[in-house]
Amino acid sequence: MSQNQTLSVRGLSKNYGGVAAVTNVDFDLAPGEILALIGPNGAGKSTCFNMLNGQFPPTAGSIKLFGEELVGKKPREIWRLGVGRTFQITATFGSMTVLENVQMALISFHNRLRALWPFAGGLYQDEAFQLLELVGMEAQASRPCSVLAYGDLKRVELAVALANAPKLLLMDEPTAGMAPKERIELMQLTADIVRERGISVLFTEHDMDVVFTHANRIMVLSRGHVVAEGKPQEVRANPEVQATYLGTGAVYDDSKHKGAA
């Protein structure tokens, strides 16, 4: 059964000494599905991400990618199997051009880092251009990343993440620091690309407009436990969610999202 799911997580738990950061979390993620992981500060979102990509070993539980157990594997192995991640803080090389950043990612994916960079200038250039076209950055291919606007840098990061041909993309607050219009555009672009390619996405996000507009499903964590999980309209209507999360200051304006997924 779990072979059909991109990800099957069962009984996932993490204790830091006496602190139970994540307790008995279960969820599945289907190809092309976008799942938002939300919850107040300290709920255990980062800990979940860090277990999924192998940075922290779980205290207990199982994480299967198309049926293959990831627990016990190193981050690099997990990345190779197709678990990509984008970070809250942008992680491109500022002195290199947009094109070179994507080429570097492709070279790394194809395991050719031993090729000396100055002589590797032509490697995967066409593939890199195609990825830049996909994210709408081809016109800026020869600009150094250091001069890009923040929203454009996030697009380059998306292209870099796609260079690894991920099956699962973990996105840590993908729209943090962006203007509201840019947030919606970046998430729409991401949603279009991942649905077309059958990539599953798990993302954390503090902006409830982004969450309720773009997630197919939402999972709510509170003190390490899943307190609600379902379609956006189900989660929004859940009294426990309203008490533990939406009631903490985050405002969701329903009237703006009549057509949401």
Ligand X SMILES: Nc1ncnc2c1ncn2[C@@H]1O[C@H](COP(=O)(O)OP(=O)(O)OP(=O)(O)O)[C@@H](O)[C@H]1O
Residues binding ligand X (CB under 6 A): 16, 19, 21, 39, 41-47
Judge contact between 51 and 7, C-beta under 8 A. Answer: no
Residue closer to ligand X (CB basis): 3 or 41: 41
Pair of tokens at residue 142: 């020869």
- What's the rounded Cα separation, in Å, for the pair 152 and 156? 6
Where b means 16+ CB within 10 Å and e means fewer, 65-89 reads bbeeebbebeeeebbebbbbbbeee
- Residue 207 CA from chain centroid, whole number: 15
Q: Minimal distance in Å, beta carbon 171 to ligand X?
A: 13
Q: Minimal distance in Å, beta carbon 43 to ligand X?
A: 4
Q: Minimal distance in Å, beta carbon 84 to ligand X?
A: 19
Residue closer to ligand X (CB basis): 162 or 218: 218
Residue closer to ligand X (CB basis): 59 or 125: 59
Q: Minimal distance in Å, beta carbon 80 to ligand X?
A: 25
Residue closer to ligand X (CB basis): 41 or 142: 41
Judge contact between 256 and 213, C-beta under 8 A. Answer: no
Residue closer to ligand X (CB basis): 156 or 170: 170
- What's the rounded Cα separation, in Å, for the pair 176 and 188? 15
Segment 90-96 long-range contacts (CB within 8 Å, at least 24 positions apart): 90/150, 90/153, 90/154, 90/157, 91/157, 92/145, 92/153, 92/156, 92/157, 92/160, 93/145, 94/144, 94/145, 94/146, 95/144, 95/145, 95/146, 96/144, 96/145
Q: Minimal distance in Å, beta carbon 258 to ligand X?
A: 29
- What's the rounded Cα separation, in Å, for the pair 11 and 64? 12
Q: Minimal distance in Å, beta carbon 54 to ligand X?
A: 15
Q: Minimal distance in Å, beta carbon 189 to ligand X?
A: 24
- What's the rounded Cα separation, in Å, for the pair 197 and 168? 11
Residue closer to ligand X (CB basis): 128 or 211: 211
Residue closer to ligand X (CB basis): 55 or 233: 55
- What's the rounded Cα separation, in Å, for the pair 105 and 160? 6
